[in-house]
Amino acid sequence: MTATIVGWAHTPFGKLDTETVESLVVRVTQDALAHAGIEARDVDEIVLGHFNAGFSPQDFTASLVLQASDDLRFKRALRVENACATGSAAVHQAITSIEAKRSKVVLVVGVEQMTRTPGPEIGKNLLKASYLPEDGETPAGFAGVFGQIAGRYFQRHGDQSDALATIAAKNHKNGVDNPYAQMRKDLGFEFCRQESEKNPFVAGPLKRTDCSLVSDGAAAIVLTDVETGLGMERAVAFRSTAHAQDFLPMSKRDIIAFEGCAVAWKQALERAGIALSDLSFVETHDCFTIAELIEYEAMGLTAPGQGARAALEGWTQRDGRLPVNPSGGLKAKGHPIGATGVSMHALSAMQLCEEAGGIQVKNPKLGGIFNMGGAAVANYVSVLERIK
């Protein structure tokens, strides 16, 4: 254990018309420092996760965090980006600084504002997280990429529409009690399963309820070394981390295997000295329901091709053997790209400190996080454990 989360902050996710990237960053920075009980002057380094890709006209954003306090002036600050895993990339960069003993206190902020961008541009911006020579003309943008993945999975393992609807319904039901979630409505299995005017097919076998939401929002966490963390009010330690980057072209991989995800999970569990069954919950990257289904297999919850069992037999419900996305996941919570990975870490820390309110799981000991960039290209896993 080399780093601990000692405080956090989280805005609601959604269409935030009165906010800007700057106001969101300032808000969560001030709130996270206050929650941790740490003064701005005591921060050694700032890491901002911000994907952008055309969503914000302001493309040099690391120093926006300094707007939260004059005492942050002249602190080391950088922006990191790794597609939809940008938030976790920022978290892992902060841990690297603490491991290297360059920092004792690092502020990590994740932010994105997407909803001010016209619909066609949103699709174009998101498609930049794919391999453009192969996928640049994909109909329906990034949803089309995952529609292709779902179609290939169905071809190999059969129609999984019931499982996908079960995953969507689970996550929407969980999101009802998450005050930060963009959609707090229990849609139910039947609505998610049936094509309708309100739930049309979007790409391949994926319907609207299979796709995460375009969103604005921000989250922040304060990281310290373990010694400092043990002197704070609360401390959630990183039992282990792993990052596995895969080829960008899908043509160079078995795209329905999510091999980079499997490698990252295997490394993280081995480094933590635990089995998957030791985890109390998992927050995983359900940008599309087919992603969560394949991630069940990649993390080792089921054998390849049997991910549907975990969904249909209730293993991943909040009261199941391994609750997955008790927050509602990206499906209900929304997916402001740069904020997502930081949000996952903040919400998991809340769970482990038993401060998660209506989304709280029972007696959590260890939490797992999987955040993915692109189509299983950037793969980040964290295993968290409360030590104070």
- Each residue's pLDDT tens digit, 81-132: 999 999 999 999 999 999 999 999 999 999 999 999 999 999 999 999 999 9
What does the alpha-carbon distance between residue 94 and residue 46 come to, in Å, rounded to a whole number? 8
pLDDT exceeds 90 at position 30: yes
Average pLDDT over the chain, rounded to whole? 97
Beta strand pairing call for 45-49 and 105-113: parallel
Looking at the domain assignment, is residue 273 inside a domain? no
Contact between residue 220 and residue 32 where contact means Cβ atoms under 8 Å apart? yes
* CA distances to 113, 256, 262 from 304, in Å: 36, 9, 11
Residue 80: give its domain's CATH number: 3.40.47.10
Looking at the domain assignment, is residue 274 inside a domain? no
pLDDT exceeds 90 at position 307: yes
pLDDT exceeds 90 at position 254: yes
**318-330 pLDDT per residue, tens:** 999 999 999 999 9
- Higher confidence at residue 119 or residue 47? 47
Looking at the domain assignment, is residue 67 inside a domain? yes
Looking at the domain assignment, is residue 12 inside a domain? yes
Task: Quote the number of domains for the chain.
Answer: 1
Looking at the domain assignment, is residue 98 inside a domain? yes
pLDDT exceeds 90 at position 208: yes
What does the alpha-carbon distance between residue 371 and residue 22 come to, in Å, rounded to a whole number? 24
What does the alpha-carbon distance between residue 47 and residue 110 come to, in Å, rounded to a whole number? 9
**63-87 pLDDT per residue, tens:** 999 999 999 999 999 999 999 999 9
Looking at the domain assignment, is residue 243 inside a domain? no
Helix, strand, coil percentages in the chain from 3-state DSSP, rounded to 5: 40, 20, 40
pTM: 0.98
Average pLDDT of 281-307? 98
Looking at the domain assignment, is residue 112 inside a domain? yes
**312-371 pLDDT per residue, tens:** 999 999 999 999 999 999 999 999 999 999 999 999 999 999 999 999 999 999 999 999
pLDDT exceeds 90 at position 1: no
What does the alpha-carbon distance between residue 177 and residue 197 come to, in Å, rounded to a whole number? 27
End-to-end CA distance of the chain: 13
Average pLDDT of 156-183? 98
Give the range of the structural domain holding residue 51, as residue numbers without chain letter. Answer: 4-117+214-229
Looking at the domain assignment, is residue 309 inside a domain? no
Q: Give the torsion through C-alpha atoms of 59, 63, 65, 71, to 10 deg.
A: -170
Q: How confident is the model at residue 286 (pLDDT cuts 50, 70, 90)?
A: very high
Residue 71: what pLDDT? 98
pLDDT exceeds 90 at position 179: yes
